[in-house]
Structure 1
Amino acid sequence: MGCFSSSGRHSISKNDANNTPSQIIHTKEDIKIDASMFVGHRNGQVLEHYKIGSKIGSGAFGCVRIGTHIITGQKRAIKTIQKESISADLTEREKFFSEVDILRKTDHPNIVKLYEFYEDEKYFHIVTEFLQGGELFDYIIKNKMLSERAAAVFMKQILSAVAYCHSNNIVHRDLKPENLLLECETPQPNLKVIDFGTSAIFNSSKHMTKKYGTAYYIAPEVLRKDYDEKCDMWSCGVILYILLSGKPPFYGRTDRDILRMVEKGEYSMKGTIWSTISQGAKQLISRMLDYNPKHRISATEALMDDWLAQNTALDSPVQAIPLSSLDNLKSFRAEQNLQRAVLTFIASQLLHNEDSKQLSEAFRNLDKNGDGKISREELLEVYTGIMGLEAASEEVEKIMQQVDVNDSGYIDYTEFIMATAQREKMINQMNLEAAFKVFDSDESGKICAQELKSLLGEGGSGNETMWIDLIREVDMNGDGEIDINEFKAMMMSLVDSHK
């Protein structure tokens, strides 16, 4: 049982265990807790954790099936790749691992969430959220063309995801309606960018040279094999053109014909359909389809475009955000590092989409510049409208201290969900048992300091005493480890304190 040998274990007396939190607690700067910590590479059989259901997609190297998480009952998408099918193809193997690595780093309401990555003798399995609304491509076909307001709402979500990626030096390289999935089937569904298999980490001082993309949406400079992240903005321009007109700007009977048109970069916004579309929409398309990538608009600039702002404007930012979310954000308290870590895990891995849907909308409404994170200034604007500048300034500083658990200087998406979700939905028996299993990596039935260090320490770093002290904060019986009852008591105290 446990992680240390008897000779190597630090003994903790009952007197130590009874120390008050103020005597032993470390400040949150000791550990920067991030949602990516919990996107684990799991060994063993995926069938131990999921019931595998029907196939929802297939490709040259594998398929995607619906998987039901055995503990939580959540439906997820499981992409399975046969190892031998990509072992000889270095490009496909590189794309596969690139998708895993990049999705681990993303935390945005409009980017598909990666939960886990499994590997067994024959297969790789990527487990992501299951999006039931289908492709934006099918939505366009069904609706033929969209109103400017509907197109702008979708475009803002796409651009927000792209701006977030570019700010983190991620370029997608295959943006198209087929890689934009809808969360559910509603009149105005939330949209998620998927398929990061061709994405890459880019260097702003060095252009990319590998040709990736799909004929209709590929940028002309990609065909020349000399491009930067602005290639994604060309694809966004093509998508907006299609959303508004129902037709692509560059077309032909074959891919070769289409690529010839793309190389020329000539397109038209004339005719009956375009006569009904506003000048503002046309100008934004023109700025995204600027043939010269140096002059092409960036995602951040596009988010501030007048046409986009006017068609997605809220009457009042305060009224658009539920007061319950603002109250929960203001009252969020988790004094122990381990409590913050468990809440981050539950918020990022276990909450159902239905539970976080309203919170996702509140996050987007607070995130006024659409960059996928909430700044002090954005918080201050909303709380000033409620309580005045002086009180709001003090409150925002408290919120940042409590909620910004990875010390980024912003409230990230998972941090916002963690702080604003109803405690009873997050902290329940099922979620706590699932969380305990992740923290108890050796399945001994107890969590020890070494397990915390492996899970929460960057590369297993951190002063040894710090991890021992984390155990002490929760260890009621003084045995140097945390059992399931101590773990649950630690988390249930947050529910009691919130009542």
Structure 2
Amino acid sequence: MGCSPSNSRSNDSKNSIVCVKRQISNLQSLQIDAGIFVGKRKGDISKDYKIEDKLGQGGYGFVRGGISKETGKKVAIKSIKKSTITNDMKEKAKFFSEVDILIRTDHPNIVKLYEFYEDENYYHLITEYISGGELLDFIIKRNNLSESSASKFMKQILSGIVYCHSNNIVHRDLKPENLLLDSDSPNALLKIIDFGTSQIFKPRTHMTQKYGTIFYIAPEVLKGRYNEKCDIWSCGVILYILLSGRPPFSGKTDEEIYQKISRGFISFERPEWASISPSAQSLIRKMLQKDPSLRISANEALHHSWIVVNSLDDHTKELNSDVKMQSLENLKNFRAEYKLQQAVLTFIASQIDSQEESKKLIEAFKELDKNGDGKLSQEELIEAYKVKIGHNAAINEVETIMKKADANKSGFIDYTEFVIACSKAEMMLCNNNLEQAFRALDQDCSGKISAKELKEVLGGRIRSKEKLWKKLIDEVDENGDGELDIDEFKEMMLKMIDSNGNKI
């Protein structure tokens, strides 16, 4: 099917109208999501990043800090030796699976991937830098945590895992070393990292490859037949350690530990458990249920009474309520008239972040996300709006919001879409952010954005001729030269801000 020439003028005219309608329809259906700007580069990474000291090392390679020479942004650089994977197709597939999974994910408790490089000897993953260290170090400093602190961390872990499982992603190596914090505080934002052993799974099927770390590995993984609930076992072990400072299954040798895991017997007899609530112990037992068919799901664990009761204090509830109401107001008022505006906002929200602003939006997002699946449904938004404007008005309001804010046409408001609609205009559309976004689209560094460049950056989701992308340029091309310069680009974006400095 396509827009083909006709022998008759009448048919030619009809075909032309149909062709234009198709292009407009394609433009409206263009899916813009958080992973659209994650690109692959070849060459020397040090041309674009100042490389800093190592943060960690493993058999695959190492992780270093880095600073973008273009933006000054601090990042983490995970470098994988090509020699360890190029001769093993399974290992190579595993690496690219990690890249694909990180591109797909859009959740506040999952590390962001910005881009990846390939040079002669290494693959490099460029991710967000998380400054507070590992959850393991946090536990070691304190030996064990209060139930309130432990529940706040566990809620964040489970939220990320609910999101993964609902998108058919299994992590397979959850442990405190793969959970990073943005500060050394019980109120820190937690991020799940290292998806190197993760996999896209088919529901109601089993995996057989043995992955995981000795203390956290589920008994069914040792048997070589398991599903996504292996992650829940790992979460149960993590919670046990958070509350007691020691693992539930230990021994002098690996074999002894494996035997204890296989038996699956959990003890709460040590003195430290005397002060831990029965509710916490109940959740651990449900997560460390030996039979995975009887084991609690990630969603059930997230909504367990111990998590719900302990993870929020009164001050946080009050703060979340204020932020939630402001976010709902911003979401209602959001308007992106052009597809290109949506694309630019997506780049800014997914690649550039303000930690203080992000934390407030994360809390508001999770307050609205009642089922914890990492996205906002129409029903969840209607439930929130009806408190203020009534049920029928809420239905109409949410239908309008979905049309404006659901940029990837998923039928939900994803986390990045929520950030776009609810962030402060002065933070999102500051001069520095707009210039970075312009450079991301100006692939040949000519100082102008062409239809060809838009197709290269945004065209992966849709098959179309270049004139579709020219139409996207023409919508905002003030001087009519068929390209977008920096002044036209900024003017297009700043049209979204009203006289009071709010996004419209």
Answer whether TM exceeds 0.5 for this pair.
Answer: yes
Point out the more displaced range, 403-412 or 479-488. Answer: 479-488
Q: Which residue of 2 aligns with 1:207?
A: 206
Counterpart in 2 of 1:339? 341
The residue correspondences of 1:165-184 to structure 2 (distance < 5 A) are 165-184=164-183
The reply on whether 1:41 has 2:40 as its aligned counterpart is yes
Q: How has the CA–CA distance of structure 1 residues 474 and 43 changed in structure 2, closer, same or farther, with 3 Å as cutoff?
A: farther
Q: Which runs of 5+ in 2 are unaligned?
A: 1-22
Q: Which residue is equivalent to 2:460?
A: 458
Q: Output the CA distance in 2 between the equivalents of 1:246 and 1:171.
A: 26
Q: What is the identity, as a one-letter code, of the residue corresponding to 1:457?
A: G
- Tell me, yes or no, if structure 1 residue 31 matches structure 2 residue 59: no
Q: Secondary structure at the match of 1:152?
A: helix
The aligned residue for residue 301 of structure 1 is: 300
Output the CA distance in 2 between the equivalents of 1:28 and 1:329. 23
The answer (yes or no) to whether the contact 1:182–1:192 under 8 Å persists in 2 is yes
- Match in the other structure for 1:4: none
Post-superposition offset of 1:471 = 1.1
Corresponding residue number in structure 1 for 2:274: 275
Paired with 2:304 and 2:460, the residues of 1 have a C-alpha distance of 39
Does the alignment pair 1:103 with 2:102? yes
The structural deviation recorded for 1:496 is 4.1
More displaced stretch, 261-270 vs 317-326: 317-326
Conserved? CA contact 2:44–2:119, under 8 Å = yes
Structure 2 Cα separation of the partners of residues 166 and 187 of structure 1 = 26
CA contact (8 A) 1:51 1:69 kept: yes
* Contact kept? 2:26, 2:462, Cα under 8 Å: no
Taking the aligned partners of 1:446 and 1:120, their CA distance within structure 2 comes to 29
Q: Deviations over 1:249-283 (max 9, x none)?
A: 11101222111111111121223222222221111
Determine the structure 2 residue equivalent to 1:364: 366
- CA apart distance, 1:46: 2.0
- 2:379 partner amino acid: E
**Deviation at residue 133 of structure 1 after TM alignment:** 0.9
C-alpha separation in 2, matches of 1:187 and 1:298 = 25
Residue 412 (str. 1) matches residue 414 (str. 2): yes
Q: How much does 1:376 deviate? A: 2.0
CA contact 1:72–1:350 (8 Å) conserved in 2:
no
Equivalence map 1:17-416=2 (5 Å): 29-313=28-312, 319-416=321-418
SS of residue paired to 1:42: strand
CA distance in 1, matches of 2:95, 2:270: 43
Q: Which whole-Å CA distance do the structure 2 matches of 1:45 and 1:496 have between them? A: 43
Match of 1:3 in 2: none
Contact 1:164/1:372, CA 8 A, preserved across alignment: yes
Contact 2:97 2:198 survives alignment (8 Å)? yes
> Match of 2:265, SS?
coil
Q: What's the % identity of the aligned pairs?
A: 56
2:481 aligned counterpart, secondary structure: coil
For the structure 1 residues 203 and 26, does the alpha-carbon distance in structure 2 shift closer, same or farther, using more than 3 Å as the test? closer
Residue 26 of structure 1 contacts residue 466 of structure 1 at CA under 8 Å; is this kept in 2?
Answer: no
Contact conserved, 1:144 with 1:246, CA < 8 A, in 2? yes
What whole-Å deviation, never above 9, does each CA across 1:329-374 have from its counterpart, x for those lacking one?
A: 1211111000001000110012233442221222122222221111
Counterpart CA distance in 1 for 2:495 and 2:44 is 35
Cα shift readout 1:236-260 (whole Å, capped 9, x = no counterpart)? 1111111111111111012221111
Q: Distance in 2 between matches of 1:360 and 1:377?
A: 19
Cα 1:495–1:27 change in 2 (3 A) is farther
User: Which one-letter code corresponds to 2:110 in the other structure?
Assistant: I
Distance 1:420 1:343 in 2: 11
| Cα drift, residue 89 of structure 1 | 4.3
Higher-RCO chain (CA-CA 8 Å, sequence separation at least 6): 1
1:36 is paired with a residue of what secondary structure?
A: coil
8 Å CA contact retained: 1:69, 1:75: yes
Indicate conservation of the 8 Å contact 1:454/1:460, yes or no: no
Q: Take 1:361 and 1:46, find their aligned partners in 2: how far apart are those partners? A: 35
Structure 1 residue 302, shift from structure 2 partner: 1.2
**Partner amino acid for 2:393?**
A
Q: Which residue is equivalent to 2:489?
A: 487
Question: Residues 180 and 194 of structure 1 are in contact (CA less than 8 Å); yes or no, is this contact kept in structure 2?
Answer: yes
Match of 1:12 in 2: none
Structure 1 Cα separation of the partners of residues 341 and 26 of structure 2: 13
Q: TM-score, normalised by structure 1?
A: 0.90
Aligned position for 2:440: 438
Kept in 1, the 8 Å contact 2:138–2:184? The answer is no
